[in-house]
Structure 1
Amino acid sequence: MEAIDVITAKRDGGELTGEQIRWVVDAYTRGAVAEEQMAALNMAVVWRGMTRAETSAWTQAMLDSGERLDFGGLDRPTTDKHSTGGVGDKITLPLTPTVAACGAAVPQLSGRGLGHTGGTLDKLESVPGWRADLSPEAMRVQLAEVGCAVCAAGPGLAPADRKLYALRDVTGTVESVPLIAASIMSKKLAEGTASLVLDVKVGSGAFMKDAASARELAETMVAIGTDHGVRTSALLTGMDTPLGRRVGNALEVAEAVEVLSGGGPSDVVELTVELAREMLRAAGLDGARDPAEALRDGSAMDAWRRMIAAQGGDPDAPLPAAAERRDILAPATGTLTRLDAYAVGVAARRLGAGRARKEDPVSAGAGVELHAKPGEEIRAGRPLFTLHTDDPARFDGAAEALSDSFAVDGPARNLPLVLDRIG
Structure 2
Amino acid sequence: MAAPATSAPSAPPAPVAPGDLSEGGSRGPPDLPPEPKQLPELIRLKRDGGRLSDVDIRGFVRAVVDGSAHGAQIGAMLMAIRLRGMDLEETVALTRALATSGQQLEWPEAWRSQLVDKHSTGGVGDKVSLVLAPALAACGCKVPMISGRGLGHTGGTLDKLESIPGFTVIQSPEQMQGLLEQVGCCIVGQSKKLVPADGILYEARDVTATVDSLPLITASILSKKVVESLSALVVDVKFGGAAVFPSQAQARELAEVLVGVGAGLGLRVAAALTAMNNPLGRSVGHSLEVEEALLCMDGAGPPDLRDLVTRLGEGTGRGVGAYASEPAPPGGPAPASPKPPPRRQEGSCSGSADRRRPRTKAPPGWPRPWTTAQPGTGSSGCSRGRAWTRAWPEPYALGLPRSAGSCCPAPGSRRSCTRPETARWSWSRRYRWRACCTNSGPGAAAPGSHSGRGWAPRC
TM-score by length of 1: 0.76
Q: Which residue of 1 aligns with 2:390?
A: 328
**One-letter code aligned to 2:371:** P
Asked whether 1:91 is paired with 2:128, we answer yes
Q: Is the aligned partner of 1:17 residue 2:53?
A: yes
Q: Show the counterpart of 1:29.
A: 65
SS of 1:65's equivalent? coil
Measure the CA separation in 2 of the matches of 1:26 and 1:72.
30
Q: 2:119 is matched with which residue?
A: 82
* In structure 2, distance between residues paired with 1:100 and 1:398: 29
Partner of 1:263: 300
Counterpart among 330, 333, 343 of residue 293 in structure 1: 343
Indicate the larger mover: 123-132 or 42-51. Answer: 123-132
1:358 aligns with 414
Which structure carries more relative contact order (alpha carbon 8 Å, separation 6+)?
Answer: 1
Inter-CA distance 243–70: structure 2 relative to 1 (3 Å threshold) = same
Structure with bigger strand share is: 1
CA distance in 2, matches of 1:278, 1:157: 27
- TM-aligned CA distance change 1:368 to 1:221, over 3 Å: farther
Say yes or no: does 1:2 pair with 2:37: yes
Give distance in 1, aligned partners of 2:304 and 2:246: 20
Moved more, 269-278 or 291-300: 291-300
Q: In the aligned structure 1, how far is the partner of 2:198 from the partner of 2:425?
A: 35
Q: Is the 8 A contact 1:114 1:358 kept in 2?
A: no
Secondary structure of 2:126's aligned partner: coil
* Distance in 2, Cα, partners of 1:17 & 1:216: 23
Partners of 1:152 and 1:171 lie apart in 2 by: 21
Q: Displacement, 1:167? A: 4.1
Q: In 2, Cα distance between the equivalents of 1:172 and 1:260?
A: 35
Once the two structures are TM-superposed, the CA of residue 134 in structure 1 deviates from its matched residue by 2.4
Residue type of the alignment partner of 1:386: R
Selected match of 1:60 from 96, 114, 138: 96
The residue that corresponds to 1:315 in the other structure is 371
CA contact (8 A) 1:247 1:368 kept: no
Question: Which residue of structure 2 aligns with residue 405 of structure 1?
Answer: none
| Separation in 2, partners of 1:193, 1:368 | 43
CA contact (8 A) 2:269 2:320 kept: no
Counterpart code for 2:403: V
Conserved 8 A contact 2:283-2:454: no
- Tell me whether 1:163 sits opposite 2:211 in the alignment: no
User: Offset at 1:246?
Assistant: 1.4
Q: Which residue pairs with 1:343 in the alignment? A: 400
Partner residue in 1 for 2:352: 302
Q: CA deviation at 1:20?
A: 2.4
Supply the distance in 2 between the matched residues of 1:247 and 1:52 (Cα, whole angstroms). 36
- 1:313-357 alpha-carbon deviations (Å, 9 max, x no partner): 5322312242212222475xxxx89966x524534654x554598
Provide the C-alpha distance between the structure 1 equivalents of 2:166 and 2:68, rounded to a whole number of angstroms. Answer: 42
Question: Match of 1:406?
Answer: none
CA distance in 1, matches of 2:384, 2:402: 17
Aligned length in residues: 375
Distance in 1 (CA, whole Å) between partners of 2:85 and 2:244 is 19
Query: Which of 281, 286, 290 lines up with 1:253 in the alignment?
Result: 290
Change (3 A) 1:6 1:254: closer
Deviation at 1:225, TM superposition (A): 1.5
User: 1:214 and 2:214 equivalent?
Assistant: no
**Alpha-carbon spacing, 1:338–1:262, altered in 2? closer, same or farther (3 Å):** farther
Note if contact 1:98-1:291 (Cα within 8 Å) is conserved in structure 2: no
Consecutive unaligned residues of structure 2, counting only runs of 5 or more, are: 1-35, 324-338, 374-378, 440-452
Question: CA RMSD, aligned part only?
Answer: 3.6
Question: Partners in 1 of 2:340 and 2:53 — Cα distance?
Answer: 45
SS of the aligned residue for 1:116 comes to coil
CA offset at residue 241 of structure 1? 0.6
Instruction: Encode CA deviations 1:235-272: one digit per residue, 9 max, x unaligned.
Output: 11112111111112232222222222222211001100
**Aligned-pair identity (%):** 39
Q: Which moved more, 1:101-110 or 1:66-75?
A: 66-75
Equivalent residues of 1:247, 1:369 under 8 A apart: no
Pick which of 142-151 and 89-98 moved more: 142-151
Cα drift, residue 278 of structure 1 = 0.8
Displacement of 1:53 in angstroms is: 0.6
Q: In 2 relative to 1, CA 194–90 (structure 1 residues): closer, same or farther, beyond 3 Å?
A: same
SS state of the match for residue 258, structure 1? Answer: helix
Report the residue type matching 1:387 in the other structure.
Answer: A
Q: 52, 70, 76: which is aligned to 2:106? A: 70
> Deviation per CA, 1:164-199, whole angstroms, max 9, x where unpaired?
344444444444211222122222322232221111
